[in-house]
Amino acid sequence: MKILVSDPLGKAGLAVLKKEKALEIDERYGLKPEELKKIISDYDAIIIRSGTRLTKDIIEAAKKLRVIGRAGVGVDNVDLEAATKRGIIVMNTPEGNTISTAEQTFSLLMSLARNIPQAVSSVKGGEWKRQAFLGTELNGKVLGVIGFGRIGREVSKRATAFGMRVMVFDPFISKASVKEYPVEFKDLKSLLKAADFITVHTPLTPETKYILNSETFKFCKKGVKVINCARGGIIEEKALIEALESKKVSGAALDVFEKEPPAADHPLLRMPQVICTPHLGAATEEAQENVAVDVAHQVVDALANRAFKNAVNLPNVDPETFKAIRPWLNLAEQIGKLPAQLFEGSLKNVKIRYGGEVTRYNLKPLTIAVLKGLLTPICGETVNYVNAGGLAKERGITYEEVKSSEAGDFTNFIEVETSQNGEPNRVMGTIFGSQLPRIVRINEFLGMDVDPRGFVIFIKNQDQPGVVGKIGTILGNNKINIAEMSLARVTQGKKVFAMTTINTDSEVPAKVLTEIKKFSPIISVKVVNLGKYE
C-alpha cells in the first residue's frame, strides 16, 4: 500500500512509516492542487499538516484513498463531507501539542508581566531605560482561565507553581472530576472582575466566539492583561483594541488572530503594549515529533484494520452496519448537540433511551455519537468518535444507555435526557421515512418536526395570535430568510404555551434575538448551530 506525505513530517514519524515493509512512502511537499489531484488516485493514505488542502474535487479523484491523517488538531483543510461520502477515515492528533501550547501561554504571560519583548527591543536599539519597563510579579496575582481542558489544566499547574491564585470558568466541566487541581470555579462575570491576567483555552464554537467582547470587558479590572494561544475569534479584536486604547486592558499577548496572517497594517500590530507571535503554540520540536509519531501509528493501524484512533468522521463499525445505521448516527449526534446549547448549566448525568427498530443494532456507536454531539459545542474539533467517551469521563459526565419497550407517540426513537443545574431536560428524535432525522420533542413540547441542521431558533412563548407573524416580520426586516418552521403546544393549568422552532438560512445576530425577546409574549429565545450531517 502507498502513503503520500504531502507536508513536512517529523523524522520520528517518518521512521514509524518506513519500518513497515508492506508500505511504500512517498514524500512530495509543496504540491499544487492540480498536481495533487492528478496523482492522488495512486495512494491508499495521505498524511498532511496545514499546508495541504483536500478539497471536494481532490477527494473525489482519490479512487483508492482509505485514510487521511492530519498531524495536528484542526481538520478545516479537509472536506469532511466529501471524505465521509467516500468512506474515507479522517484522523487527527489532538493530544500532541498540549504541553507546547501550555508553555507558550505561560511564556507570553511572563513576557506581559515583565515587558520582556519591549525591553529587549529597547536595549538592542541602544537604550537603557530601566524605569520604562517596570513590571509586575505573578506571585499573589489572580489568573483567570477560561476553558479547563487539557491545556487549561497544564497552564493552571504552572501558574500555581508561581504562587498565582487560579480561577476557572468552564460551565461544562464537573468540579469533582478536577478536584486534584487547586483552582476556584467561578461564573464568567466573577472571574472577569477578579482576574489580573486572563487566558483563554476553549475551541472556537458559537458559544465561545467573542467571549471577550465590548460587554464582557466592562466587567474586567482596570489594567487587566489578556492572553490568547487558543483560536482567533475567541477575543473580539475590535473590542480588544478599544479596551487597550482606554487602558481597561493594559497589555495583550496574542499567538492567534481572527485572520491569519493579520494584515500588515492591523492596529494590534502597532500597539507597543501588545505582544504578537505567529501561531507558535505547537511550534516545538517535541510537539512536532509527538504529532508526527501519533499520526504515523494511527495511519498504519487504520490501513491494517487494527484500530481507528482519533477518527473525526466515522465510528468503528463494519461498512454494511454503517450503511444501515447511518441515519440513526446522524440523528444521535445532532440530538447530542442540543443540550449544551439549549439548556443552562454544566452537564452531569446523561440517559440515552432507544426504542423500536434501532434497538436491533449495536448501540455503542450510537451512544458514542450522542456523546460526540454533546461535547462538540464544548470541545470543538478536539472531540471525535474515539475520544468522546474518555472526554465525557474526564469532565465528570456519567452516561447510560437503555433499550425501551414503551410504545409512546413514536415507536422508533432516540431520546437523550440530561441533568443540568439539577433540572432534567429531554430531547427526542426519530427518522422520518428511511433517511430523514427529525427532532420531535423538547421537554414537554411533543409533536415537533425540526430539521436538526444549521441555525435553528427555539422560541418559547405564550400561545396567542400574532406571535408567529411578529417573529417573521422581525426576521424579514433583518433580511434573515426562514427555511423551515415548526410549532408545538402544551397546556399547563389554564395557560397554553407554544414552542416555535425556525430554521434560518443564515446566522442570527444577537441584536435580532434581543428584538424578539422584547415582544411581551416571548418567554425565552435561543439560537443553536447544529452544523451539517450526511
Looking at the annotation, which residues are catalytic? 231, 260, 279
Residues 6+ apart with CB under 8 A from 163: 138, 139, 140
* CA distance linking residue 218 with residue 221, whole number of Å: 8
Residues whose CB falls within 8 Å of the CB of residue 522, separated by 6 or more in sequence, listed in order: 459, 460, 461, 467, 516
238 vs 268: CA distance, rounded Å: 9
Query: What's the CA gap between 16 and 356, in Å, rounded?
Result: 46
How far apart CA 156 and CA 173 sit, in angstroms, is: 15
As given in the structure block, the three cell numbers for residue 533 are 450531517
The side-by-side arrangement of strands in the sheet containing 249-254 is 184-185, 165-169, 142-146, 197-200, 224-228, 249-254, 274-276
Q: Which residues contact 307 (CB under 8 A, 6 or more apart)?
A: 298, 301, 316
CB contact set of 389 (below 8 Å; sequence gap of 6+): 368, 371
Looking up cell 483594541, which residue turns up?
A: 241
Q: How far apart are CA 470 and CA 287, in angstroms?
A: 54
Give the HSE-up count for residue 201: Cα atoms under 13 Å, Cβ half-sphere: 28
Q: Angle at Cα 163 formed by Cα 162 and Cα 165, nearest 5°?
A: 120
User: H-type helices in 307-418, by residue range?
Assistant: 319-342, 364-379, 388-394
Three-class SS string for 119-186? HHHHHHCCCCCHHHHCCCCCCCCEEEEECCCHHHHHHHHHHHHCCCEEEEECCCCCHHHHCCCCCEEC
Q: By C-alpha distance, which of 430, 426, 467, 414 is closest to 342?
A: 426
- Crossing angle of helices 467-477 and 510-517, in 10° steps, is 150
Neighbours of 82 (CB within 10 A): 17
Beta bridge partners of 202: none
Burial of 510 (0-12, 13-18, 19+ CB in 10 A): exposed
CA 79 to CA 182: how far, in whole Å? 41
Separation of alpha carbons 353 and 343, rounded Å: 19
Tell me how far apart the alpha carbons of residues 471 and 245 are, in angstroms, rounded to a whole number.
39
Residue of 311, 408, 328, 410 whose CA lies nearest to 364: 328
